[in-house]
């Protein structure tokens, strides 16, 4: 990882857009390097890998850990115990379980609901109609705070197509009066900014290619 590269990207991002450094597959020494540059938000997609790194660097203050991976029900307790943000909540049942577990653990995780705006059998996410149907119920769940929506665009779209899908996410978040949109990865973050992203999830563009 080149620090100068990180700083260059950081400088290009508008001030109202936050940068989540996706550190999955990346060694803790690299996380420490970025932390020393003022990066406090790190994203991981596997609980076991994340907890190993969290233990090693537990003395670093004010790190916010974000869970961005597919949520397995049996991992929800570990996720609630070890992450401040959960970006990848893709069903009513998982949100309900997060709420119940958070009450037991005395936590209040910040939540992004993952929504799918195009057909993609390999990706999770609420259908937007279903989300609207369930919204009133979900918005009442205790011991969590729904901050926004998260979406992942399919690969290989044109710039225009990316913007169009990201704008759908922004529009739905606005309708639900949610401040945050977690959208934009290394290949499409500029389009996401244009469409109103508030959290960019950037991995390879910062750390270089990872091993997994």
Ligand X SMILES: *Cc1c(COP(=O)(O)O)cnc(C)c1O
Binding interface with ligand X (CB under 6 A): 22, 24, 45, 68, 152, 185-187, 201-205
Q: How far is the CB of 62 from ligand X (least distance, A)?
A: 22
Q: How far is the CB of 74 from ligand X (least distance, A)?
A: 20
- Nearest position to ligand X, beta carbon: 203
Q: What are phi and psi of 58, to 5 degrees?
A: -65, -20
- Of 45 and 54, nearer to ligand X (C-beta) is 45
Q: How far is the CB of 106 from ligand X (least distance, A)?
A: 27
Helices (H), the chain: 3-12, 28-35, 47-56, 76-82, 92-105, 128-138, 159-175, 189-195, 204-207
Q: How far is the CB of 140 from ligand X (least distance, A)?
A: 27
**Shortest CA distance to 169 belongs to which of 148, 154, 190, 146?**
148
> Who's near 91: CB < 8 A, 6+ residues apart?
124, 126
**Shortest CA distance to 177 belongs to which of 151, 147, 199, 152?**
147
Q: How far is the CB of 175 from ligand X (least distance, A)?
A: 23
- Of 170 and 201, nearer to ligand X (C-beta) is 201
- Of 80 and 200, nearer to ligand X (C-beta) is 200
- Of 49 and 103, nearer to ligand X (C-beta) is 49
Q: How far is the CB of 69 from ligand X (least distance, A)?
A: 6
- Of 116 and 201, nearer to ligand X (C-beta) is 201
* Long-range CB contacts for residues 92-100, cutoff 8 Å, separation at least 24: 92/134, 92/137, 92/138, 95/138, 95/141, 95/144, 96/141, 97/73, 98/141, 98/144, 99/141, 99/142, 99/143, 99/144, 100/143
- Of 19 and 131, nearer to ligand X (C-beta) is 19
């Amino acid at each position: 990882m080149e620090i100068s590269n990180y700083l260059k990207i950081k400088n290009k991002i508008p001030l109202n857009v936050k940068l989540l450094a996706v550190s999955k597959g990346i060694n803790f020494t690299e996380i420490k390097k970025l932390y020393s540059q003022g990066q406090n938000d790190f994203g991981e997609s596997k609980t076991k890998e994340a907890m190993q790194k969290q233990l090693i660097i537990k003395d670093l203050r004010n790190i916010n850990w974000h869970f961005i991976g597919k949520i397995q029900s049996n991992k929800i307790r570990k996720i609630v115990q070890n992450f401040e943000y959960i970006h990848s909540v893709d069903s009513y049942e998982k949100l309900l379980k997060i709420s119940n577990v958070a009450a037991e653990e005395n936590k209040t995780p910040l939540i992004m609901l993952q929504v799918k705006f195009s057909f993609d059998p390999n990706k999770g996410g609420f259908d937007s109609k279903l989300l609207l149907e369930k919204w009133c119920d979900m918005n009442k769940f205790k011991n969590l705070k729904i901050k926004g929506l998260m979406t992942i665009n399919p690969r290989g779209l044109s710039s225009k197509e990316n913007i169009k899908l990201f704008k759908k996410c922004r529009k739905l978040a606005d309708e639900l009066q949610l401040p945050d949109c977690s959208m934009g990865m290394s290949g499409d973050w500029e389009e996401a900014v244009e469409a109103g992203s508030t959290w960019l999830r950037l991995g390879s563009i910062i750390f270089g290619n990872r091993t997994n």
